[in-house]
Amino acid sequence: EIVLTQSPGTLSLSPGERATLSCRASHSVNSSYLAWYQQKPGQAPRLLIYGASSRATGIPDRFSGSGSGTDFTLTISRLEPEDFAVYYCQQYGSSPPMYTFGQGTKLEIK
Amino acid sequence: QVQLQESGPGLVKPSETLSLTCTVSGASISSYYWTWIRQPPGKGLEWIGYIYYSGTTNYNPSLKSRVTISVDTSKNQFSLNLYSVTAADTAVYYCARRRVVPANGYYYYYMDVWGKGTTVTVSS
């Protein structure tokens, strides 16, 4: 089973700043199988990025994903007030065939 | 616009069965995969399993012995049964649509539409 480790656990930034969130896998992940979600308090997760770098429908272009192998990054180029939330990475592994999520990074207002 | 809505008891006694249903609107349940995910209070997301409209299933190995997911295409619904529950099964349960999209010789795997979630507490 592939374990995803996200860092930092909490990131404190101000609106307008750039956010860089990391997701590291215990074994190499096919980048096609890597996704990112945003979750606000009391809400369901929302898909942001799939295939490591493709933005989901309706997602602003300030969100971008990159990476390959074991290291993946979600970047928010210029933080808006509505971007402060918890972010999860997710991968689909083939051995065994299952989804795993990172433990999340909380992005909070500084 | 595809919408998913979870329904079921909010309180389940220990050792009993947790049963939830997800009703899909705005799309046919056929031709897609559907999944259940849960989130214990203050914790992260845990994938439970998924089902194809044909009935093919795949479960999280850690829950496999206690889980059944089924589909009712006539009602455009799919369901979760989690047996012999304990307090550790207390969580918000989400249903979601699983996408498997071909791309460049591989597939993209992700959940693109989620229900709002339903809270289930296991307590006597």
State the smallest CA–CA distance between residue B32 and chain A in angstroms. Answer: 17
Give the whole-number percent of chain B exceeding pLDDT 90.
95
pLDDT tens for residues A56-70? 999 999 999 999 999
Name which of B78, B62, B69, B74 is nearest B24 in CA terms: B78
Q: Helix, strand, or coil here: B65?
A: helix
| DSSP string for residues in chain A | ---EEEE-SEEEE-TTS-EEEEEEEEEEE-GGGEEEEEE-TTS--EEEEETTTEEPTT--TTEEEEEEEEEEEEEESS--GGG-SEEEEEEEEETTEEEEE---EEEEE-
pLDDT at residue A95 tops 90:
no
Query: What's the mean pLDDT when you consider all of chain A?
Result: 96
pLDDT of residue A106: 98
* Closest chain A residue to the Cα of B106, Cα to Cα: A32
pLDDT band at A72 (very low <50, low <70, confident <90, very high): very high
State the smallest CA–CA distance between residue A33 and chain B in angstroms. Answer: 5
Task: Report the length, in residues, of chain B.
Answer: 124
pLDDT of residue B104: 81
**B78 DSSP 8-state letter:** E
Return the residue matching tokens 């939830």: B20
pLDDT of residue B116: 98
pLDDT at residue A94 tops 90:
no
Name which of A85, A89, A66, A72 is nearest A13 in CA terms: A85
pLDDT of residue B31: 83
Give CA–CA dist B42/B46, Å, rounded.
12
pLDDT at residue B11 tops 90:
yes
Is A93 in the B-facing interface, judged by CB distances under 8 Å?
no
| Inter-chain contacts counted by CB atoms under 8 A, chains A and B | 70
pLDDT at residue B103 tops 90:
no
pLDDT at residue A1 tops 90:
no
Q: Pick B110's closest partner by Cβ from A30, A35, A98.
A: A35
pLDDT tens for residues A34-50? 999 999 999 999 999 99
Residues of chain A numbered 19-78 and touching chain B (CB < 8 Å) = 30, 32-33, 35, 37, 43-47, 50-51, 54, 56
State the smallest CA–CA distance between residue B112 and chain A in angstroms. Answer: 6
Measured over the CA atoms of residue A48, residue A49, residue A50 and residue A55, the dihedral's sign is: positive
